[in-house]
Amino acid sequence: MSKPLENVEVALFVTCLVDINRPSVGFAAVKLLEEAGCRVVVPDAQTCCGQPAYNSGDRKSTKDIAKNVIRAFKGYRYVVAPSGSCAGMIKKHYPELFADDPDMLLEAEELAARTHELVSFLNDIADFEPDDVKLDKKITYHDSCSSLREMKVKQQPRELLGEVDDLELIEAEDREACCGFGGTFCIKYSEISEEMVDQKISNLLATKADIVTAGDLGCLMNIAGRLSRKGHKMKVLHIAEILAGMGDNPGIGEGQK
Amino acid sequence: MDAKAKILGRIRKGQGSEAAVSNETADILSARIKSHARGIIPKRGQIPLKDQIALFQKKIEALGATVAHVEKAEDVPTAVQRYLADNNMPSRVKITPSKEVTDLPWGEIPTLEMVEGAGKEEDMVGLSPAFAAIAESGTLMMASGADTPSTVNFVPENHIVVLKSSHMRGSYEETWDMLREKFGEAVMPRSVNFISGPSRTADIEQRLIMGAHGPKELHIIMVNDDA
Amino acid sequence: MQVTSRKFKENAHDAMQDENLRAALGRVKQGFTTARANAAAELPEFEDLRDQARDIKDHVLENLDYYLEYFEQKVIEAGGQVHWCSTAKEARETILKICRDVDAKTVTKGKSMITEEIGLNKFLESQGVEPIETDLGEYIIQLADEPPSHIIGPAVHKTKEQVTELFYEHHQQYGYTEREEDPEKLVGEARAVLRHKYVTADVGITGANFLVAETGSTAIVTNEGNGDLTQSLAKTHIAVASIEKVIPTLEDVSTVMRVLARSATGQEMSVYTTFSTGPKRDDDIDGPENFHVVLLDGGRSEMIGTELQELLRCIRCGACMNHCPVYHAVGGHSYGWVYPGPIGAALNPQMVGIEEAIHLPNASSFCGRCEEVCPVRIPLPKILRYWREKSFEQQIGPKPQRWGIEIWGFFAKRPWIYRLMTKTAVRALKLMSGKKGKIRSLPFNNGWTAVRDLPAPEGATFMEQWKKREGK
């Protein structure tokens, strides 16, 4: 069967959290995209999508950062990020940012049209299915807010996880509720964030799954950090890692084996 | 400048104009009001009358009301008496002074004491005719008037409603047209009440408790007059 | 009411220690969200109706001046009066004057957020007029002398035991000398106490969910029937409403009604929806002799034509707070003013000032669930962000946070320096974590590590490792 994206150039937007904190998610994304037939490039001039500034009300810095991203990703057929949050920033918020700047608006809309969240891209556009990936574990999937609400990612991760041999997906209560990360929110309002992440992990733990996964590293670091602080053993992995056959890697916050 | 002028002035400033709407715009807006243009009407109510009646009953019973059917209006007094007896309610009933219900053969049931008037604190049972009913949500429409005081719908402890099956409609919009036909264009009775079940509250720990301030029981006697 | 939004963090801290409140908020989360989801699923047209409801409200706001004057004209034709009030103070005084004109001693009240907004009860009390709340939830918090904590369930924060105590304390004068613990009997007690008040009150004050321009009607939506008793048994009915409540036609109202109760409580219709038009007619044997509509602006007209205009679409269903994880955590009182939850966080900065309310738009994870369930599709996160931008521009808010963002922004705009910085940071963090793979505390900004461990980086950034791989 031919792959719809055979040899098509895809630019990876690594995202700052993956770049700094969990490069293996980036390599998992590359592996998956390559298996789907894409030719992956990683533009060198990328940094961050600008959300920390945007969510803090610093519109001017956000615009500057956005311009940098727009420049860095010019010309690629697709731009893919292993994060609903960063992809959502580019797809939904960049055009809003430049609503009063017609030239930039055009460029922002053009980039938005090419930009995708990894899992939905693999499923909906690349027609990808994990081949020969096996993981004999119980998994629960947390719907991260941006993936779910901004990028409409809901069925795709479940379908792809369903293709992993021996994997059992167990749905958690309130899986669509926020984990309490929210970028700078979890630092500025850490006590409220704590309440939210405790709700989240109690629902996750109730599934008795071995692994919790999601498509956004921010949520996963928050969940992993809280699980670790409370002494729970549930393993935390980005969904790209599971789909790429790296399900046996140490979980987020577990250190090297 | 009075408050009205100030408020309107600020609104207009926000809308980017200083003056009231132009005659042309006013004509468009007034035509919009008078057109009674309908929005989306849920399909669930757009069904044959027989099915509407069934849907209405299903909905309003789910809301805690009870429904009885009689073949003709003359059978209503017997149905009232049966309901009161079955539910251990007193036989004194406050009834709206409307011919539609006062003309029924109450005399055939001598135990019933039908008292005409508005609803009063001491009334245990009230009886009034529905103006219409709406199948989509199991809702009664009551219209006030000289002979249909609205207090009978709310003040008595229990409420019996006489509803003609021919007055069943699928949607709220159809009942507005019935009202306009009876009372005139843009004329409303003083009080129009939609009622969907007996009174309830969930204000204590979100537990559903029936009979908060309005009637504790709602009983509908449907007269089959559509044949 | 006293504004305490400035103390949001402290309020929230206290709220989160309150076990009763936590239990109550758990019920809000379970009850309302499930009910709404079921109601939405059962009506295939629901999403399209939301679009239409939004469009109707937008149309009204674009022509608000016209519809308000049309409405007023119709109220007058029906024999009623409309009182235009720019400010809360004007509204309070107008209402007092109406009460004085009929020599009112007591007024019964249906549930009305606008009367909360203008602080009517305290004002009337200070003027010797006794207000009696009749909605059970409002009645409970009136006895407790507290503001509402939810716009459709004012007493959601109260436990049954607290209600028992309140009734025991306040109902002895009516002969209820036992502590009643059964909720059904508690409701019965309130019913019996209030029943007589409706009849003896001189004035009945209600809010209005809709003002119908076509007919000059005011409409209220309740489940208890208290609003109907309030407005039909007193000699004078005053409906208090804000200007954005006007809706052109009965057909438009029908559309909005279909999304209101479903979004609020998950009901298809509330039990009672009542349209009142003018005072009693000449040959009527019941109904109020006087019919007044008090129209409050209260800062709303200034929102027309601005980024905040969309907030005026709000139909006060409460869905945003029912689905808000922050509201679930901190409850309604933490917000420190009349409107809690996402709608409050978006609206209160306009009403009480951004300096006072700065925490409210900031205390959000931007999860977007409020916008997802809002029946009139108000882009609440967008408006919260608008306030963050306002406060950033005006330099309100903690300085270190601003500096942090500015430093980050400086690097993020300069990829080469950024690369250097991240490389260094990653190594430092890796060193700090040792072999554990996590960091338990940080020397700076402990907002993260106060609550959770920080998963440690792997030792080299993706960009470094990628270059190595590509260099091969």
CATH of residue B131: 3.40.50.10420
CA C120 – CA C92 distance, rounded (Å): 6
Burial B84-101 (b: 16+ CB within 10 A, else e): beeeebebebbbbbbebb
C403-409 contact pairs (CB < 8 A, 24+): C404/C445, C405/A52, C405/A53, C405/A56, C405/A58, C405/A61, C405/A184, C406/A58, C406/A61, C408/A48, C408/A52, C408/A53, C409/A52, C409/A53, C409/A58, C409/A61, C409/A62, C409/A64, C409/A65
- Check CB contact under 8 Å for C224 and B201: yes
Residue B6 has pLDDT above 90, yes or no: yes
Q: Which residues of B touch C194 (CB under 8 A)?
A: 213
Among B42, B121, B150, the residue with its CB nearest the CB of C232 is B150
Q: Please report the residues numbered 181 through 200 in chain A whose beta carbons come closer than 8 angstroms to any beta carbon of chain C.
A: 181-197, 199
pLDDT tens, residue by residue, A32-78? 999 999 999 999 999 999 999 999 999 999 999 999 999 999 999 99
CATH class of C43-301: alpha beta
- Check CB contact under 8 Å for A182 and C364: yes
- Check CB contact under 8 Å for B59 and C268: yes
User: Looking at this protein, which amino acid is placed at residue C366?
Assistant: F
Helix count (H) and strand count (E) of chain C? 22, 12
Residue of A nearest to C431 (CA): A255
pLDDT tens, residue by residue, C334-356? 999 999 999 999 999 999 999 99
- In angstroms, the separation between the Cα of residue B66 and the nearest Cα of chain C is 15
C105 near B CB under 8 A: no
Residue of C nearest to B210 (CA): C184
Domain segments of chain C as ranges: 1-42+318-396, 43-301, 399-471
Q: Which residues of A touch C426 (CB under 8 A)?
A: 20
The contacts of residue B135 (CB under 8 Å, 6+ apart) are B44, B45, B47, B51, B52, B53, B55, B56, B59, B168, B169, B170, B171
Residue of A nearest to C464 (CA): A19
The contacts of residue A122 (CB under 8 Å, 6+ apart) are A32, A33, A36, A128, A156, A160, A243
Residue of C nearest to B184 (CA): C215
The answer to whether residues A93 and A23 touch, using CB atoms and an 8 Å cutoff, is no
Q: Which residues of C touch A27 (CB under 8 A)?
A: 462, 465
- Check CB contact under 8 Å for C458 and A23: yes
CA B42 – CA A110 distance, rounded (Å): 39
Q: Check residue C2 and give its pLDDT.
A: 83
Q: Which of A15, A31, A40, A58 to mutate to test the interface with C (most CBs of C within 10 A)?
A: A58
SS3 for C219?
strand
pLDDT tens, residue by residue, B28-54? 999 999 999 999 999 999 999 999 999
CATH class of A133-243: alpha beta
Among B26, B196, B203, the residue with its CB nearest the CB of C271 is B196
- Check CB contact under 8 Å for A57 and C437: no
- In angstroms, the separation between the Cα of residue C344 and the nearest Cα of chain B is 21
Among B6, B40, B118, the residue with its CB nearest the CB of C86 is B6
- In angstroms, the separation between the Cα of residue B18 and the nearest Cα of chain C is 11
Looking at chain A, which residues constitute the CATH 3.40.50.11810 domain(s)?
133-243
- Check CB contact under 8 Å for B146 and C283: yes
The answer to whether residues C71 and C280 touch, using CB atoms and an 8 Å cutoff, is no
The answer to whether residues A36 and C369 touch, using CB atoms and an 8 Å cutoff, is no
pLDDT tens, residue by residue, C197-234? 999 999 999 999 999 999 999 999 999 999 999 999 99
- Check CB contact under 8 Å for C451 and A193: yes
Laid out side by side, the sheet with C246-247 consists of B168-169, B132-134, B139-143, B191-195, C272-276, C217-222, C210-212, C246-247
Among B36, B144, B206, the residue with its CB nearest the CB of C249 is B36
User: Looking at this protein, which amino acid is placed at residue A39?
Assistant: R
The contacts of residue C445 (CB under 8 Å, 6+ apart) are A187, C404
- Check CB contact under 8 Å for C287 and B191: yes
CA B195 – CA B153 distance, rounded (Å): 9
Among B10, B33, B149, the residue with its CB nearest the CB of C284 is B149
- Check CB contact under 8 Å for C68 and B8: yes
Q: Check residue C381 and give its pLDDT.
A: 97
Provide the strand spans (E) within C152-230. Answer: 203-206, 210-212, 217-222
Tell me which residues of chain C have a pLDDT lower than 50.
none
CA A125 – CA A107 distance, rounded (Å): 22
Interface partners of chain A (CB pairs < 8 Å, 3 or more) are C
**pTM surpassing 0.90?**
yes
**Interface predicted TM-score of the whole assembly (ipTM), two decimals:** 0.97
Q: Which residues of B touch C208 (CB under 8 A)?
A: none
Among C385, C455, C457, the residue with its CB nearest the CB of A225 is C455
- In angstroms, the separation between the Cα of residue A59 and the nearest Cα of chain C is 7
B abuts A (3+ Cβ pairs < 8 Å)? no
- Check CB contact under 8 Å for B193 and C273: yes
The answer to whether residues B131 and B172 touch, using CB atoms and an 8 Å cutoff, is no
Residue of C nearest to A183 (CA): C365
Shared domain for B122 and B204, answered yes or no, is yes
Q: Map tokens 């901190």 to a residue.
A: C330
A159 near C CB under 8 A: no
- Check CB contact under 8 Å for C287 and B193: no
Q: Following DSSP, what letter does each residue of A15-82 receive, concatenated?
A: -HHHHHH-HHHHHHHHHHHHHTT-EEE--TT----SHHHHHTT-HHHHHHHHHHHHHHTTT-SEEEES
Beta strand B139-143 with B132-134 is antiparallel
Q: Which residues of C touch B7 (CB under 8 A)?
A: 68, 84, 86, 243, 295, 297, 301
The contacts of residue A35 (CB under 8 Å, 6+ apart) are A128, A131
Average pLDDT, chain B: 96
In sequence order, which ranges of chain A are alpha helices (DSSP H)?
A: 16-21, 23-35, 51-55, 59-72, 84-88, 94-97, 102-114, 118-120, 145, 155-162, 185-188, 190-206, 217-229, 239-243
- Check CB contact under 8 Å for C369 and A177: yes
Q: Which of B59, B201, B210, B217 to mutate to test the interface with C (most CBs of C within 10 A)?
A: B201
pLDDT tens, residue by residue, B113-143? 999 999 999 999 999 999 999 999 999 999 9
Q: Check residue C428 and give its pLDDT.
A: 87
What band does B227 get if pLDDT is binned at 50, 70 and 90?
Answer: low
Q: Which residues of B touch C257 (CB under 8 A)?
A: 172
Q: Which residues of C touch A188 (CB under 8 A)?
A: 362-363, 401, 447
pLDDT tens, residue by residue, B67-88? 999 999 999 999 999 999 999 9
Tell me which residues of chain A have a pLDDT lower than 50.
257
- Check CB contact under 8 Å for A149 and C406: no
Residue B11 to residues B8, B14, C83, C302, C351: CA-CA distances in angstroms? 5, 5, 17, 7, 17
C abuts A (3+ Cβ pairs < 8 Å)? yes
SS3 per-residue string spanning B5-26 = HHHHHHHHHHCCCCCCCCHHHH
CA A215 – CA A239 distance, rounded (Å): 6
Residue of C nearest to A182 (CA): C365
Q: Please report the residues numbered 16 through 75 in chain A whose beta carbons come closer than 8 angstroms to any beta carbon of chain C.
A: 16, 18-24, 26-27, 42, 44-48, 50, 52-59, 61-62, 64-65, 68, 72
Among A23, A149, A177, the residue with its CB nearest the CB of C462 is A23
Shared domain for B53 and B8, answered yes or no, is no
Among C196, C232, C274, the residue with its CB nearest the CB of B151 is C232
Q: Which residues of C touch A59 (CB under 8 A)?
A: 389, 392
Per the DSSP assignment, residues forming a β-bridge with C237 are C204, C291
Q: Which of C47, C374, C445, C452 to mutate to test the interface with A (most CBs of A within 10 A)?
A: C452
Shared domain for B19 and B92, answered yes or no, is no
Q: Which residues of C touch A238 (CB under 8 A)?
A: none
Range of the domain at B167: 41-223
- In angstroms, the separation between the Cα of residue A137 and the nearest Cα of chain C is 22
Question: Beta-carbon neighbour count of residue B13 at 10 Å?
Answer: 14
Q: Check residue A1 and give its pLDDT.
A: 56
Indicate the number of domains in chain B. 2
pLDDT tens, residue by residue, B13-24? 999 988 889 999
Q: Determine phi and psi for C79, rounding to 5 degrees.
A: 95, 10
